[in-house]
Every structure is written in structure tokens, then in C-alpha cells.
Amino acid sequence: MVMTRATPRDGRLSGGKTPASPTPARPSREESRSSAAEVEQRVGAVTDPEIPTLSIGDLGIVRGVEADESAGAVRVRITPTYSGCPAMEVIARDIVDAAADAGWDATVEIVHSPPWTTDWLTERGRAALAELDIAPPGPRSTGASGPVPVTIGRAPHTESSVAVVCPRCGSTDTELIARFGTTACKALHRCRACGDPFDEFKAV
């Protein structure tokens, strides 16, 4: 058996072989960490699992991003579009993953006050809804605060006081079919002009 060892002169092995170059050290997580501004941007770019073309930043549910650069930690506060929204668990997990990709540890807090409103949707968010043939929300009711009267029974197949524009053909000749569409935050309509059904993102 032939024993080999490195000589102190040139690093060659006595058996005539040259040792492999040492593997370069990987940068630490702190060295590869993105800036606070970039992690905030990445958090806002996380998409809604129910509407993949819509980011949570444009949806308006991100209420705050607080970054502690010394600890490499970020605290994100989000508000659900409605209480009990099943997408929040997925969104929270995606936020943690997005922050981790940027070298940050994220903590997600769900806050319910003030409640989310469609007024927080950005114009880009409204455009993203229209691209999926979902009618963006119209102006929300600004009635007095307090108890809200609710009529029990079948949804009336009549137009609302504000015409819902068909996202496919642009007609305002539309009718309400059901107050709940593919998800609880949408209503189902039908366009009389083109005959197609479509969702409306309800104004709240």
C-alpha cells in the first residue's frame, strides 16, 4: 500500500497527485440577506391562492412590515378579506417562505381591526381581477353604522342600484344570479348581452 502526503513546498502529494481545490465557503445567511426594502417588496408580491394574478400587496391586506435588521427578523401584519377566510393560512406560510428566500425570519400576525375594505384594492389589483373576467368591486355602501338589516330568502334576480359591468363584453345589462359566487367574497352575475355568467368581487 502506498501512503501519500502533501509536501510543505508545493502542496503536491508524494504520490504525484495534486489535491483538489478547497471548496469556497458559502456566504452566511447574514451576508446573503436582502435589504429591508427588498424583503418588504417580496412580501407584498406574494399572491392570493384563490386569485393567482393578484398579489396581497395589491389586494391591500398587508397592514404593516416591520424589519429588525440586526436580528434578521421581520414582522408582517395582514388582515383577512373576511373573517374565517381559508386562504390566510396559505398566505401566511407563503410570506414566511418569501422572507426566508431573502434571508429573513418572518413572523405573521393576523389582525382584524380595522376590517379590510375593497377601498384598499389598488388600481393594479382591480386590473388583475378584470384579466380573470372578475368584475372589480364598485363603490361600497357608506350607510350609517350599527345593525345591518338582512332580508331572508332567495336572492332577487334584479339589477342593483349600481350597474355591474360585464368584464367580458363591457355591457351594463347584467343581473344578479346569486349573492355568493366561486368564493364567499364574490357574487355571481349573468350578462344579458353576451349570455355569460361572471363573478363580481363584492364591495365591502
Pairing of strands 134-135, 73-78: unpaired
What does the alpha-carbon distance between residue 125 and residue 65 come to, in Å, rounded to a whole number? Answer: 20
For the cut 50, the answer to whether the pLDDT of residue 195 exceeds it is yes
| pLDDT tens per residue across span 54-105 | 999 999 999 999 999 999 999 999 999 988 888 999 999 999 999 999 999 9
Report pLDDT for 182.
85
Percent of the chain whose predicted confidence (pLDDT) is above 90: 61
Rg (CA), the chain: 27
pLDDT in tens, 7-53: 444 444 445 555 555 555 555 556 678 999 999 999 999 999 989 99
Half-sphere exposure of 1 (CA within 13 A, CB side): 1
The predicted pLDDT at position 41 comes to 96
**Model-level pTM?**
0.72
Strand, coil or helix: what is 175?
Answer: strand
62, amino acid identity:
V
**Under CATH, what is the fold of the domain 36-110?**
GMP Synthetase; Chain A, domain 3 (3.30.300)
**Where do the domains of the chain lie?**
36-110, 133-139+157-201
Omega before residue 114 within 30° of 0, cis? yes
- C-alpha closest to that of 69 among 42, 108, 105: 105
Q: Angle between the 36-44 and 87-101 helix axes, to the nearest 10 degrees? A: 150
Q: Compute the average pLDDT of residues 117-139.
A: 92
Question: Cα 46 to the chain's mean position, in Å?
Answer: 4
